[in-house]
Structure 1
Amino acid sequence: MDNTQLEEQLKRLLIVECDKEDDIDWQSITDDEPLFGQKSRVQMDSLDALQVSLALQQHYNVRIEGAKDGRRILNSIASIAAFIRQQQ
C-alpha cells in the first residue's frame, strides 16, 4: 500500500466512524490538519477517538494504549498513518 492509499483510507474511516459524512467531504481533509480542538473542522471528541481507535485496531491490527498516546497519535491523518507504518 502506497502512502496516499493509506491516508485516503484513514480519511474515509475517520468520516464514517465520527459520523461526519454530511458535514465534511473526506477529500477536503488535509493530511496534517488537526482532528481535535477549536481549529479542527472534524472536531473529534473523546467518544470519536475511542471509535476511531477501535476501528484502527480492527482494520490495521494496531493498538493505541492510553489517552496521552491516543491524543498524540490521533492528532492528524499524517500522525495516524505514521503510527500504523511504524507498527507494521
Structure 2
Amino acid sequence: MTNHAQVWDWLQTINIQFNRFRWLRLAISDLPWNTLIEQHKEILCAVENHDGEKAVTAAAKHLHLMFDEEMAVLQAFPEYFDNLPE
C-alpha cells in the first residue's frame, strides 16, 4: 500500500516476540478466542464507520489484552521465556 517494504520487514523482525506470544496464547484453552474475534470486529466496525477515535480506542484495548493474559501464557509455557517473574 505505501511501498515501504523495508519498514514492513523491520517491523516483522522486531515483532517476532509478539508473534510467539500470540501463537502460544492460542494454545491455551482457558483463554477464549471469542474475545479476540469480538475485539477485531469492533476495530473493523469503527474503521468501516470512519470513526477514528473509536478505532484507536478499540485497537488500544485489543493490544492491551496481552498484558491481561501475560501470566497465563508465562505459566503455561515457562520454557519459552527467560527472566520470568518470581
What's the TM-score bracket when you normalise by the shorter of the two chains? under 0.3
* TM-score normalized by the length of structure 1: 0.24
| Bigger Rg, structure 1 or 2 | 2
The higher relative CO (CA closer than 8 Å, separation ≥ 6) is in 1
Normalising by structure 2, what TM-score? Answer: 0.25
Greater helix content: 2
